[in-house]
């Protein structure tokens, strides 16, 4: 199965008062049809910036994509013109944002906001647009879709709004859907429903999905593979089952250990010692070393990506044979 999306050595830098931040520092991964990749990490690890880089909407002028390639069905997105990218966005690569309260424009009706992508991507007009919009709303399980078209965002609940955003995202339908923490702002009971909805849509339309989250539980349930990011780099990537069972990187291990389990004898929550790194003052070498319980002399050098077993790779000297 050829990759729908193939990111190779993507690099995005942000120029700030304190120095240049390597927000995305050589990120590579590939995804096939109907495959879901979970992108996990703390705030500031580069997850969101990676996603924005894929669609080339990094906040200018401070941030710039400085290197790498992003191949969508073989075409390098980084080489496209602005106009071409604009036509690709939404239609071929769609993205859902975190907060449904603020993602929808408060002064336009749901109908108007749904019509826009339909007119842009498919040239539909008039009654056809409304019909299709109602169909899309129905496909995300919104009751009385036709009536909803006339409503305004503030009249809908958070869960419904996020579904509307989802409906707009699959209007293409896209080849790749990027979901940036789409359930973080939703009630727990609704989260499960929404995740189910996303999987269902994925099966139907066969798009690849990148699911950004800091919640390993969601990763376990919805993702096929997972990439763990730290300080702008992917420190471990592989199938979910395998990584959960046998994490290779100390950071991944610490993340998994910090999840409290029922029946565990430990009384205190295990936290990861130390602070997240200041990206402006990164020393050369492994970024996690200052907090790593297993750090040793080689860690002053940046570790290369090494295969633990085929399909499972990590950046850690512990797995590099001397």
Contacts with another protein by CB under 8 A lie at 17-18, 40, 42-44, 55, 57, 86-91, 94-95, 97, 99, 102-109, 116-117, 120-121, 152, 154-155, 165, 168, 214-218, 220, 255, 258-260, 269-272, 274-278, 280-281
**CB of 291 vs another protein, minimal distance in Å:** 9
Residue with tokens 């959960």: 244
Ordered alpha helix ranges (H), the chain: 47-54, 82-88, 100-103, 110-122, 126-139, 145-148, 158-169, 188-205, 216-222, 240-245, 250-257
**CB of 304 vs another protein, minimal distance in Å:** 26
* Cis check: omega of the bond before 173, within 30 degrees of 0: yes
**CB of 176 vs another protein, minimal distance in Å:** 12
Residue number, 254 or 317, with CB nearest to another protein? 254
Q: How far is CA 186 from CA 101, 129, 183, 234, 252, in A?
A: 10, 29, 5, 28, 26
**CB of 69 vs another protein, minimal distance in Å:** 21
**CB of 310 vs another protein, minimal distance in Å:** 27
Residue number, 49 or 317, with CB nearest to another protein? 49
Residue number, 142 or 317, with CB nearest to another protein? 142
**CB of 274 vs another protein, minimal distance in Å:** 7
CA dist., res. 301 & res. 298, Å (int):
6
Residue number, 104 or 129, with CB nearest to another protein? 104
Residue number, 123 or 310, with CB nearest to another protein? 123
Q: Whose CA is closest to 54, among 8, 100, 117?
A: 8
Residue number, 87 or 125, with CB nearest to another protein? 87
Residue number, 20 or 121, with CB nearest to another protein? 121
CA torsion, points 187, 189, 190, 192, in degrees to nearest 10? 120
**CB of 91 vs another protein, minimal distance in Å:** 6
Q: In the chain, what are the helix, strand and coil shares in percent, each to the nearest 5?
A: 35, 25, 40
Residue number, 196 or 311, with CB nearest to another protein? 196
Q: Whose CA is closest to 191, among 100, 94, 110?
A: 100
**CB of 181 vs another protein, minimal distance in Å:** 11
Q: How many CA atoms lie within 13 A of 308 on its CB side?
A: 19
Which strands, in side-by-side order, build the sheet including 208-213?
Answer: 93-96, 176-180, 208-213, 36-40, 225-230, 233-239, 312-314, 306-309
CA torsion, points 141, 143, 144, 146, in degrees to nearest 10? -30
């Amino acid at each position: 199965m050829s990759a729908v999306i193939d990111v190779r050595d993507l690099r995005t830098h942000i120029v700030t008062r304190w120095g240049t931040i390597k927000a995305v520092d050589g990120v590579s991964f590939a995804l096939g049809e109907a495959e879901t990749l979970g992108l996990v990490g703390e705030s500031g690890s580069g997850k969101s910036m990676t996603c924005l880089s894929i669609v080339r909407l990094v906040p200018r002028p401070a941030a710039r994509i400085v290197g790498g390639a992003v191949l969508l069905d073989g075409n390098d997105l980084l080489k496209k013109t602005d106009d071409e990218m604009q036509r690709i966005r939404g239609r071929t690569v769609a993205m859902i944002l975190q907060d449904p309260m603020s993602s929808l424009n408060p002064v336009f009706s749901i109908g108007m906001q749904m019509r826009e992508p339909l007119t842009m991507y498919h040239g539909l007009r008039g009654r056809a647009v409304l019909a299709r919009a109602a169909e899309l709303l129905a496909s995300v399980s919104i009751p009385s879709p036709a009536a909803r078209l006339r409503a305004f965002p503030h009249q809908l609940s958070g869960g419904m709004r996020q579904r509307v955003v989802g409906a707009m995202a699959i209007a293409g339908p896209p080849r790749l859907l990027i979901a940036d923490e789409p359930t973080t702002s939703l009630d727990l009971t609704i989260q499960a429903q929404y995740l189910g909805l996303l999987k269902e849509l994925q099966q139907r339309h066969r798009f690849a999905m990148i699911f950004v989250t800091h919640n390993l539980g969601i990763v376990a349930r919805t993702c096929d593979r997972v990439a763990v990011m730290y300080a702008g780099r992917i420190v471990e990537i592989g199938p979910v089952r395998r990584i959960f069972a046998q994490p290779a990187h100390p950071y991944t291990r610490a993340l998994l250990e910090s999840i409290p389990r029922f029946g565990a004898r430990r009384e205190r929550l295990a936290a990861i010692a130390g602070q997240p790194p200041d990206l402006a003052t990164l020393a050369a070498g492994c970024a996690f070393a200052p907090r790593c319980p297993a750090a040793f002399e080689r860690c002053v050098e940046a570790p290369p990506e090494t295969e633990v077993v085929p399909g499972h790779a990590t950046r850690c000297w512990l797995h590099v044979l001397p």
